[in-house]
Structure 1
Amino acid sequence: MKWQGRRQSDNVEDRRGISGGKAVIGGGIIGIIILLVNVFGGENAQMITPVLEQLQGGQNQQTEAAAPLSKEDEEMGNFVRVILADNEDIWSKIFAEHGMTYEKPKLVLFKGSVQTACGGASSASGPFYCPGDRKVYMDLAFFEELKTKFGAKGGDFAIAYVIAHEIGHHIQTLLGTSAKMRQDQQGKSEAEANKLSVALELQADFYAGVWAHYNQENLDPGDIEEALSAANAVGDDAIQSKMQGHVVPDSFTHGSSEQRMYWFNRGYKTGDIKQGTTFEEIR
C-alpha cells in the first residue's frame, strides 16, 4: 500500500512503551481458545481476560516497563496512523453525504495487556473495538500469528483490513446497529444469538471493503488479495477445522471464510453502504 509521506492521524494512543500491569504470561490452549473466539472483531473480546487469569491462577506476573520502540515499531506506528487517517477522511465524507457527522474514534496500540472501558484484555484477545470508550485496541504481534498460525499472506494491507474492520464496529456504534443487535439477542437461543453476531461481524467486513473502495488510488497490486487472504484465514470454519478438526456452524460468531471474503468484496466492489444488508441476508 502507498502510505509513506501521507497524512497521519492524531488519534492514535501508542502505549507500547508503557507497562500494562498484570499480564497473562504465555498462551497455551486457553490463549488459543480465546483467539479462536475473539479473532479481530468481537466486541466482547476484552471481557475474557479475567476468566483467563483465573484459570491460569498463579501464572500471572507483573510486567516490566517495555523497552524503547525499535525503528520497525516506529514505522508500524506511522503506518497505523496513516490507515486511521484514511478511515477518518473517507468515513467523514460518507457520513456528510448522508447528512451525518462522523465522530472519530481513537486507536490504541499496546503490547501484552491493556485496560479499557470494557475491562482488561491481553494480546490473546486479538484486535477489538470497545464501545464503552469508542476506541480500537491492537497488539500488532497479532499479525505475525495471523501468518504463522492461520496461514494468511503477509503484507501491510492485511493490517489495514483489520483496522478498517474494527472501524466498521465503530460505524455500527454510531449508527445504533450494535445496540440494536444486542437488544435483539435477548431471549434468543445461543444459535440464534450467534447468527446476529455473525451478521454484525460480516457487516464490519463489508464496511472495511467500502473503505478500500474509496481508497483505491493508494492500493498496490495484490493488496485486495492480502485482505481476502486474511478474511479467509480467520473464518470460523477455517479456524475450527484447523484447531479442533471439525466445524460447528451453530457456534459461529464471525462468519465462515466464504462469507467474510464475500462481504468484504461486496463492499469493495459497490462502495455503497446501503448494500451492507447482512442482517437481512444472513439467516
Structure 2
Amino acid sequence: MKWRGRRTSRHIEDRRGRRGMGIAGTGGLGVLAIVVVGALFGVDLTPLLQGTSTSYPQSQSTGTITAADEEAAQFVSVTLADTEEVWQAIFQQQFDRPYDPATLVLFKGVTQSPCGGASGATGPFYCPADNKIYLDTQFFTTMRSRLGAGGDFAAAYVVAHEVAHHVQHELGILSEANRIRRAASERESNAISVRIELQADCFSGIWARRADQKFGSLEQGDVEEAMNAAKQIGDDTLQRNAGRVPRPHTYTHGTSEQRQSWFLRGFQSGDVRDCDTFSAAAL
C-alpha cells in the first residue's frame, strides 16, 4: 500500500504515554461497541455495552513508545485521512449531505471509553456514544503473529472497517439495528450483529476501491491481504483456531467466506446501495 508522504488526519486523539488523566464522559446507555476479534481471546464483551460512568481515566500506558509505534500511528493517521476524503465524496454524491468524520483514539496498554474498557486484547472498536474509534497499534502485531493476517493493507482494512461502523452510525443504520437487537432474543441479536458487521466489510471494500481511484494507493497483493484478514477473523475460523467446534448461532461477525464475499462486493461495486445486508435473503 502506498501511503507515505500523504495527508494525515487531524481527527487523531493520542493517549499514548498518559497515565490517569481524567476526562468527563457520559454513559453508553446500552450502546454497542463493535470489537473485531474478542472471540479469539475469550473476552467477555458485555461491559462494552454498559459504560455508565461519568468520568474515566484517559489511558494507562504500558512500555515506551517505540519507532515501530510511531510509524504505525503515522500509517493509521494517513489511512484515516483517506477514509475521510472518500466518505466525504460518497456522502455528497449519494446522500447530498456532509460527512462528519470520526475521531480515532490511539492508546498503548489500556484506556476507557463511554462504551467500556479498551485494551490490546479487546481489539479495535467503534463507540457510537462518543463517535470515536479506539485502537492500540500493538493490535497490528497481534494480527500478524496470532492471526496470520499481516501486511499494511490488512491493517488498513481494520481501520476502514471501524470507520465503516461510524458511517453506519452517521446514516442511522447502527442505532436502528441496535434498537432492534436490544428487544430480540440472543440468537436473533447475533444474527443482526452479523449483518451489521458484513455491511461494514462491504463499506470497507467501497473505501478500498475509491481510495485506489483517488490516491493510486493499492499495490499488487493488497486486496489479497485484506481478503486474508477477512478470512482470519471470520467467526468460524476464530472458533476453530480456539479449539472449538463452530456454532453458527453464536456468530456475531459472519463466517470467513461471508466476510470475504461482502468486502469483495463493495470493492467491485463502489456503491453503498449494494451493501444492504439487512435486505439480503442470503448472506
Q: 1:157 aligns with which of 137, 146, 153?
A: 153
Correspondence 1:12 to 2:12:
yes
Out of 82, 105, 108, the position equivalent to 2:105 is 108
Provide the C-alpha distance between the structure 1 equivalents of 2:275 and 2:262, rounded to a whole number of angstroms. 8
Which segment is superposed worse, 226-235 or 96-105? 96-105
Q: Which residue of 2 aligns with 1:129?
A: 126
Do residues 80 (structure 1) and 83 (structure 2) align? Answer: no
User: TM-score of the superposition, structure 2-length normalised?
Assistant: 0.84
**Kept in 2: contact 1:35–1:124 (CA 8 A):** yes
Distance 2:144 2:61 in 1: 28
C-alpha distance in 2 between matches for 1:166 and 1:64: 23
Q: 1:206 aligns with which of 202, 206, 231?
A: 202
Question: Identical aligned pairs, as a percentage?
Answer: 44
Secondary structure of residue in 2 paired with 1:182: helix
Q: Which amino acid aligns with 1:124?
A: A
Partner AA of 1:7 in structure 2: R
Which residue in the other structure is 1:267 paired with?
266
- 2:263 maps to a residue whose letter is F
Determine whether 1:246 maps to 2:242.
Answer: no
Cα separation, 2, equivalents of 1:90 and 1:38: 33
- Given residue 196 of structure 2, which amino acid in structure 1 is its aligned partner? L
Deviation of 1:151 (Å): 2.1
**Structure 1 residue aligned with 2:167:** 171
Q: 1:37 Cα deviation (Å)?
A: 6.6
Does the CA contact (< 8 Å) of 1:49 and 1:122 recur in 2? no
Aligned residues: 256
Q: Distance in 2 between matches of 1:275 and 1:100?
A: 19
SS at match of 1:214: helix
1:27 aligned partner: none
Corresponding residue SS for 1:132: coil
| Cα displacement string for residues 63-114 of structure 1 (whole angstroms, at most 9, x for unaligned residues) | 9755552222221111111100000000001101121110011001111111
Q: Deviations over 1:120-149 (max 9, x none)?
A: 222211000000110000111112222222
User: 1:47 offset after TM fit, Å?
Assistant: 4.6
**Which sections of structure 2, spanning at least 5 residues, go unmatched?**
22-36, 53-58
Shift of 1:266: 0.4
Q: Name the amino acid aligned to 1:123.
A: G
Show structure 1 runs of 5+ residues with no match. 22-33, 51-62
> Letter of the aligned partner of 2:170 in structure 1?
L
User: RMSD in angstroms over aligned alpha carbons?
Assistant: 2.5
Q: Deviations over 1:15-68 (max 9, x none)?
A: 1222368xxxxxxxxxxxx821789xxx96735899xxxxxxxxxxxx975555
More helix by share: 1
